[in-house]
Amino acid sequence: MGYNSDMTATSTPTTDLLRPQPEHSKFWQNAHHYFDRVYQTMNLDPIWREVLSSPKRVLIVSCPVRMDDGSIQVFTGYRAQHNHARGPFKGGIRFDTSVNRDEVMALAMLQTWKNALVDLPFGGAKGGVVCDPRKLSLGEKERLTRRYTSEILPIIGPFQDIPAPDAGTDSQVMAWVLDTYSMMVGHQELGVVTGKPVTLGGSVGREEATGRGVMNVLRAFLATQNKNIEGTRIAVQGFGNVGFHAARLLDTRGATIIAITERASGIYDEKGIDVDAAGLYYRERGNLVDYPHGDSITNEELLTCDCDIVIPAATESTVTEEIAPHIKARILVEAANGPTTPQADEILRENGVTVLPDILANAGGVTVSYFEWVQGLQNFFWDAKQVQNELQKIMEQAFAAVNAKADEVDCDYRTAAYTIAISRVAEACRLKGLFP
């Protein structure tokens, strides 16, 4: 079965589920487009192209859950593991109604490149459950998380595959993953999941890490232009974990956050939005509808508004070929995974917009997840300063490598980032060879 662009299923049978086929979703094809475009220029052995094109494994599970009203609802869950040549699989778990097999396969592939680009000893994975977490009670969410964890248990573990939070999940969900896994194996296993609450072996600084990494990478890029964050006018799409912390940290460094949107609504204030106050309002209500300050703005208006920097931090494919020609910002920072379609990317390049790509810009989350994994295995915990310093070091090193590659081969940052990441993964594959 395939998918239409609106993600409804088509009747065309998919003969090969894992290798890219025309009936696979646009997002999965976009992930391939970015990979193929760079791979073909790299003079690598074509054999690894085949290997790297498809995930190693995709597990689809059915999760029956008793709802509060006594009924039983069955939720579909996925865990896609793309490549583990460089270490155990690692990647988030997403709870959303739009989760589907192609999406987790694409996100797992992106995660492989991201982990390699920031030089973490991990491969890439992604999981998700088709559900609307906003409509589940706390008890229902816990039962769903525990059932999903037990269903994917055979393929996760501290040295196999280490999940983390993604859209629609948080540290509480990770605490349930930890507890379910630990109960099943008979001992507390801190290394099985990251993004846990700090009191349960989580790392300080993990919650804000993706937003902090966005800030680190943007600051490093601006430095190459002899500019800094102070005084820039920034619009942020998506006001969840990533969007909120990115906006908050940029605001504290002197940027003016002039627009913020979430799924249902948005606010625009030329004088600057009070990010903490808007964050409090959003956390209490789950949206920004009727926020008492500023004007209301749509997602499309945000992306095309008059600002210096636009940060898509919501979900994939929001920056489309229809929107790209109207983007006025000169810098676009991909805090979300896969927000820019290949066609839009081309338009932005032609229009001279600098794109800081997702596999670089939002790698701060997995980087601090790596710190958390290391701390959990050692039962020795770092303070906030150490986490922030180590994160900054890794993000700046990654940016410097991408910047140098872009200069060396005269290409855009996405091409440079993919070139570095793919060559590291392909080299690991080559050195390991094939088993048996």
- Name which of 123 and 429 has its Cβ closer to ligand NAD: 123
- Name which of 336 and 428 has its Cβ closer to ligand NAD: 336
344 interacts with ligand NAD by CB under 6 A:
no
The binder of ligand NAD chosen from 20, 165, 202, 357 (CB under 6 A): 165
Quick check: 148 and 75 in contact, CB under 8 A?
Answer: yes
Q: How far is the CB of 15 from ligand NAD (least distance, A)?
A: 29
The binder of ligand NAD chosen from 168, 191, 201, 376 (CB under 6 A): 168
Q: How far is the CB of 180 from ligand NAD (least distance, A)?
A: 20
The binder of ligand NAD chosen from 102, 262, 345, 372 (CB under 6 A): 262
Give dist(CA 94, CA 292) in Å, integer.
Answer: 31
Q: Point out which span in 35-43, 83-91, 255-263, 409-417 binds ligand NAD (CB under 6 A).
A: 255-263
- Element holding 127 (H helix, E strand): strand 123-130
127 interacts with ligand NAD by CB under 6 A:
no
Tokens of 304: 């095309």
Q: How many CB atoms lie within 10 A of CB 98?
A: 15
Burial of 27 by CB count in 10 Å (0-12 exposed, 13-18 middle, 19+ buried)? buried
Q: How far is the CB of 403 from ligand NAD (least distance, A)?
A: 21
The binder of ligand NAD chosen from 103, 142, 161, 166 (CB under 6 A): 166
Backbone region of residue 386 per phi and psi (left: phi > 0; alpha: psi in -120 to 50; beta: other values): alpha
167 interacts with ligand NAD by CB under 6 A:
yes
DSSP-derived letter for residue 200 is G
**210-221 b/e with 16+ CB inside 10 Å = b?**
bbbbbbbbbbbb
Write down the residue that tokens 């797992």 correspond to.
108
362 interacts with ligand NAD by CB under 6 A:
yes
**105-141 b/e with 16+ CB inside 10 Å = b?**
bbbbbbbbbbbbbbbbebbbbbbbbbbebeebeeebb
The binder of ligand NAD chosen from 173, 235, 313, 420 (CB under 6 A): 313
C-alpha distance from residue 77 to each of 125, 294, 350, 374, 403 (Å): 14, 40, 40, 28, 38
Give dist(CA 131, CA 138) in Å, integer.
Answer: 13
The binder of ligand NAD chosen from 314, 356, 359, 428 (CB under 6 A): 314
- Name which of 83 and 299 has its Cβ closer to ligand NAD: 299
Residue numbers 363-382 binding ligand NAD by CB under 6 A: 365
Site string for ligand NAD, 263-302 (x = CB under 6 A): x-----------------------------------x---
112 interacts with ligand NAD by CB under 6 A:
no
Tokens of 386: 């150490």
100 interacts with ligand NAD by CB under 6 A:
no
Size of the site for ligand NAD (CB under 6 A): 25
Quick check: 29 and 105 in contact, CB under 8 A?
Answer: no
388 interacts with ligand NAD by CB under 6 A:
no
- Single out the catalytic residue among 26, 56, 114, 126: 126
The binder of ligand NAD chosen from 52, 192, 236, 242 (CB under 6 A): 242
Site string for ligand NAD, 190-219 (x = CB under 6 A): --------------------x---------
The binder of ligand NAD chosen from 240, 279, 294, 376 (CB under 6 A): 240
Tokens of 107: 């996100």
Is 126 in the active site?
Answer: yes
Quick check: 335 and 211 in contact, CB under 8 A?
Answer: yes
Per the omega criterion (within 30 degrees of 0), is the bond before 436 cis? yes
111 interacts with ligand NAD by CB under 6 A:
no
Residues that bind ligand NAD (CB under 6 A): 165-168, 210, 237-243, 261-263, 299, 313-315, 318, 335-337, 362, 365
Catalytic residues: 126
